[in-house]
């Protein structure tokens, strides 16, 4: 197994840099080096992964082998990525009433494991909106989280305002840390219907902006308790020009407005009502070009976007607790999906020191 990349830390900056656009004909090549952290057995480093799987079915199918020792692709993923403490999956596309498939996910995460290997508990949030999440037999949206059983004690909750199966909230009390697994709304001009009456209530663009507001309120409520927050997931926004190849989406105009709203709410330090959070990939990798969405209709690297993000509370980053992050941008890592995984590592010692410093202050 290849060793992980160890990025250099960078000073926080709110300045916007000018970035020259790539050639329109340029096709990006897959990363030649591994971007998997080597921290699976280090209890002082907690690694969290995020991956929009675009349907979890392929991870539940064993390969046909003449051996009883074959394991499910989902457990293979966990093993190949050094047993992350939390795996956040988006777009699992499981009907909310399909308990059989939900049980199969936990089976696939654990079956065939050796006695010394970690085990996982699974959690789900499935859509229950009868007007806005009804396509494909209810197999739309949906998030799942796999929590390692030997990690810090944690609890999971689901916000009342999320009716489309988009959010799971993981609280780690001993670390005063909340990790949010989110599949954020994709803005379109399609109608959004009131989930109670079914009446048209604006568009999916309007719903996206409301979702931004809900997520910001969630983050602010967490930080108000003097906890830190980590947002992981497919946020359906490429924040800056550098995050789209060969171009950043600018039409229709509402996409530009959605991006501005997102950046203002979650990154703008001058917005006293915002989060003022840190895009950890940009913090640790500067202007490096890596992307998380690679559509399957075009050759690899021809058209791609960085829409899956990890956003951290600023004080978590300032404490030096965000020790690593990367994007696993290769066709192999994409697998059956149209997104690649990404990860972040958190230094437990730095978090504890930050908590102690606050308590003693």
| Alpha-helical regions (H) of the chain | 73-80, 99-110, 204-224, 253-266, 280-285, 314-318, 331-334, 348-360
Q: How many other C-beta atoms can be found within 10 angstroms of the C-beta atom of residue 117?
A: 13
285 catalytic residue (yes or no): no
Given the residues 162, 171, 234, 279, select the one marked as catalytic.
Answer: 234
- Angstrom distance (rounded) from CA 257 to CA 41: 43
Are 145 and 319 in contact by the 8 Å Cβ rule? The answer is no
Token pair, residue 4, equals 């992980």
Are 166 and 185 in contact by the 8 Å Cβ rule? The answer is yes
Given the residues 72, 183, 192, 291, select the one marked as catalytic.
Answer: 183
255 catalytic residue (yes or no): no
For residue 52, say whether it is annotated as part of any ligand binding site.
Answer: yes
Token pair, residue 136, equals 């494909």
User: What distance, in Å, lies between the first and last C-alpha atoms of the chain?
Assistant: 44
For residue 228, say whether it is annotated as part of any ligand binding site.
Answer: no
At a CB cut-off of 8 Å and minimum separation 6, what does 4 contact?
34, 35, 36, 37, 38, 39, 324, 326
For residue 186, say whether it is annotated as part of any ligand binding site.
Answer: no
What torsion, rounded to 10 degrees, do the Cα atoms 267, 187, 97, 95 define?
A: -110
261 catalytic residue (yes or no): no
For residue 338, say whether it is annotated as part of any ligand binding site.
Answer: yes
For residue 149, say whether it is annotated as part of any ligand binding site.
Answer: no
For residue 287, say whether it is annotated as part of any ligand binding site.
Answer: no
Which residues have a catalytic role annotated?
A: 183, 234, 339
Annotated binding site: 52, 91, 234, 236, 338-339
Annotated binding site for Mg(2+): 52, 91, 234, 236, 338-339
């Amino acid at each position: 197994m290849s060793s992980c990349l160890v990025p250099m830390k960078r000073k926080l900056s709110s300045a916007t840099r000018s970035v020259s656009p790539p050639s329109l004909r340029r096709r990006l090549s897959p990363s030649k080096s591994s971007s998997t952290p080597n921290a699976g057995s280090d209890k002082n480093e907690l690694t969290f992964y995020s991956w929009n799987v675009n349907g979890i079915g392929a991870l539940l199918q064993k390969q046909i082998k003449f051996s009883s020792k074959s394991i499910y692709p989902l457990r293979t993923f966990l093993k190949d990525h050094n047993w992350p403490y939390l795996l956040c999956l988006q777009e699992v596309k499981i009907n909310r009433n399909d308990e059989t498939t939900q049980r199969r996910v936990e089976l696939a995460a654990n079956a065939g494991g050796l006695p010394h290997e970690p085990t996982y508990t699974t959690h789900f949030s499935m859509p229950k909106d009868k007007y806005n999440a009804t396509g494909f037999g209810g197999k739309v949206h949906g998030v799942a989280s796999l929590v390692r059983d030997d990690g810090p004690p944690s609890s999971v909750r689901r916000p009342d305002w999320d009716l489309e199966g988009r959010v799971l909230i993981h609280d780690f009390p001993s670390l005063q840390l909340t990790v949010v697994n989110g599949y954020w709304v994709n803005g379109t001009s399609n109608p959004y219907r009131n989930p109670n009456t079914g009446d048209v209530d604006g568009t999916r663009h309007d719903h996206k902006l409301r979702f931004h507001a809900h997520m910001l309120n969630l983050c602010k409520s967490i930080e108000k308790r003097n906890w830190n927050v980590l947002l992981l997931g497919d946020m359906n926004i490429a924040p800056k020009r550098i995050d789209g190849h060969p171009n950043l989406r600018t039409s229709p105009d509402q996409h530009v407005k959605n991006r501005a709203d997102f950046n203002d709410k979650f990154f703008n330090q001058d917005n006293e009502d915002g989060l003022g959070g840190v895009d950890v990939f940009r913090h640790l990798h500067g202007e490096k070009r890596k992307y998380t969405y690679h559509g399957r209709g075009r050759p690899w690297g021809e058209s791609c976007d960085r829409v899956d993000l990890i956003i951290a509370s600023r004080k978590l980053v300032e404490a030096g607790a965000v020790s690593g992050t990367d994007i696993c941008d290769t066709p192999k890592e994409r697998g059956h999906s149209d997104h690649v995984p990404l990860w972040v590592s958190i230094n437990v010692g730095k978090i504890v020191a930050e908590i102690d410093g606050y308590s003693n202050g």
